[in-house]
Each structure stands twice: as structure tokens, then as C-alpha cells.
Amino acid sequence: MIEHPRIANGWFRELSDDHFPGQALMLKVEEVLHHSKSEFQDILLFKSAEYGNVLVLDGIIQCTERDEFAYQEMISHVPLYSHKNPKKILVIGGGDGGVIREVVKHSCVESVTLVEIDRTVIELSEKYLPKMSSAFNHPKVDVKLCDGFKFLKETAGLNSVEKYDVIITDSSDPDGPAEAFFQKEYFQLIFNALKKDGIMIAQASENIWLDLNYLKNLMKTSRSIFKNTQYCYTMVPTYTSGQLGLIVCSKDETIDITVPQRKPDIKEQGLLRYYNPDIHSASFVLPTWANTIINVE
């Protein structure tokens, strides 16, 4: 078995006092499939005993074959079904391919641009996560290998004709190459790159059980740019605390993004395992103590 500092006695340990103080997550390892350091991050893939193949970046689990759909579907379909007619989509990050797999399920979508900084993540996902990476060769998908922050600055600025209906930020946590995706300037770049009724979503890196004050400040940052900002979440067993927060914003201040503006038809719903119109709305409902901190000014 390939040696890795996060694996001991056959168990992978996600242990980070910076990200998740006072707690950890462990998965039993059957086989280490790959370990390397790309230009940007430490990349580990292993086959687990219960969750299939697992992708780990800089020591943090990004996805597993067993539960990845819970994240991919919610970060994709919440904004897409909140928009009345999404045609042009931008995905920042998401080198595992899970988000674009979900986006192309919408027949109304005409083009999807995926911006990923790390080619190695794409290549390894195609090899070890084939069900997630199945849409890379889809005719509607265009892959750009560059920094997402730089891409927005150069090709989708305030005066650019490149405007999107929906922008999905599927980044890793706010360290290393993903740090810029959680700053006020990034929200402003997203705002400029969206059409007048455009919607964005971003993984919040945290949930209500981890760092509630961080979420409060992130929501405040977002609302300084997008007046119409809401917080929802998805349940993913292999994310610390079993939950991950998502920030959803619309340039249209009149739209209620907690309610789907479109609903999946029978064919589309048949392709979905987690998302449905009821869970769309329910995911925005928070426990009283958390709602008071996040949503009450």
C-alpha cells in the first residue's frame, strides 16, 4: 500500500484543527489508488470499504462514489430550477466532473463552461471516478484550464459581453488555490458576470454545526453585493458533521429562490436521486438558533 500521512493502520483520517477543531472523520481504506502532489495541491485517491472510491485534496475529502450525488445535485439543481430559463452556465472548479454531469441533464441548457485550475484533478477523476466525470466530452461542455478568479476578471468583467444565467462555484475549502473564492471581490466579479436575472451558488465550506459565525460573516459579505442571498444545505455523510452549507444569490431582488421557478419533468426527475421540488424549499429551513444568527439582522 502506498504510504500517506493521513492513513494509519488501514484507516484514512480527516483531521484538521484549522478546519474542524475538536473532531475528525475516519474511513477504512481497502486500497490506495493514487497519491501525488500537483502544481497546486496534494491529491489522494483511495478505495474505501463502504463508500467506494474517494477523492481527497490537501487532506480534505472532496467526494466519494457512494454519497457524491447529494452534493452535486443540490449545488447544481437548486440554482438551475430557481431560474426560469437557464441557457448559459459557468462552473468554477468542479474538476471531478460531478456538477457538469448534473447541469447537462437540463434540456434548456445550451452551453456549460467549466473552469478548473488543476488538470491533474480532471485526469484522475476520469480514471478513478468515471460515473462523476462522464460529461467532460459532452458536446455542450467547454473546459478551460485556468484560474477561476482570473477567468472572471479577464473574460466576464463589468463591460464584457460574456454574461451567464447561472454561475456555480464548486471550489475546495478556502485555503490555497480556492482562498479567493470566499472574498467580497469574488462576489462582485460573479455579480458582474451574471445576466440581470442571473443566479449564483457557492459551497460555503462550513455548516451550522461547525462555524456559525463564519457563515454569518460570509452571508454578510455576500449580501453586501447580492441583496437577495439565502443559505441552504445538503446532507453528505462524508463531509464533517454530515452537512454542507450552500450560499445562493440572485441579481433579481424580487425572485424567491427558496421556491423552484421550474420543476423537473418526469424524465428529469427520473435522473435525480436527491433533489426534488420539496427538498429544494426544505433545504432553506434552518433550526431556530441557527436561523437567528444567519438570517436575522
> For 59-87, what is each residue's pLDDT tens digit?
999 999 999 999 999 999 999 999 999 99
pTM over 0.75? The answer is yes
Cell (9 digits) for 184: 467580497
Amino acid sitting at position 145: L
pLDDT for res 178: 43
Residue 224 pLDDT > 80, yes or no?
A: yes
Return d(Cα 248, Cα 167) in angstroms, integer.
Answer: 10
The residues that bridge with 48 in the sheet, in sequence order, are 29
Q: pLDDT band for position 156 (50/70/90)?
A: low
Spot the catalytic one: 58, 96, 147, 170: 170
Instruction: Give the list of residues 6+ apart from residue 120 with CB closer than 8 angstroms, or none.
Output: 36, 38, 39, 43
Return d(Cα 5, Cα 230) in angstroms, integer.
Answer: 38
pLDDT for res 57: 93
The residue written with cell numbers 429551513 in the block is 285
> Largest Cα–Cα distance in the chain?
56
* Residues of the chain above pLDDT 90, percent: 79
Residue 188 pLDDT > 80, yes or no?
A: yes
Pick the residue with more confidence: 238 or 156? Answer: 238
Return d(Cα 4, Cα 49) in angstroms, integer.
Answer: 17
pLDDT for res 297: 61
170 is catalytic: yes
* Residues of the chain above pLDDT 70, percent: 93
pLDDT for res 177: 46
Between 20-29, 229-238, 240-249, the lowest mean confidence (pLDDT) is in: 20-29
Mean pLDDT of 278-285: 98
Return d(Cα 74, Cα 93) in angstroms, integer.
Answer: 16
Q: pLDDT band for position 172 (50/70/90)?
A: low
Residue 97 pLDDT > 90, yes or no?
A: yes
Residue 18 pLDDT > 90, yes or no?
A: no
Other CB atoms closer than 10 Å to residue 153's CB: what's the count?
16
Return d(Cα 266, Cα 270) in angstroms, integer.
Answer: 6
Q: What is the pLDDT of residues 192-222, one digit of tens each?
A: 999 999 999 999 888 999 889 889 999 999 9
- Structural domains in the chain? 7-64 (2.30.140.10), 68-295 (3.40.50.150)
Return d(Cα 39, Cα 147) in angstroms, integer.
Answer: 12
Q: Shortest CA distance to 134 belongs to which of 42, 271, 236?
A: 271
Cell (9 digits) for 78: 437548486
Q: What is the pLDDT of residues 243-274, one digit of tens each?
A: 999 999 999 999 999 999 999 999 999 999 99
Residue 295 pLDDT > 80, yes or no?
A: yes
Instruction: Give the list of residues 6+ apart from residue 107 with CB closer than 8 angstroms, or none.
Output: 268
On the CB side of 245, CA atoms within 13 Å amount to 23
pLDDT for res 158: 59
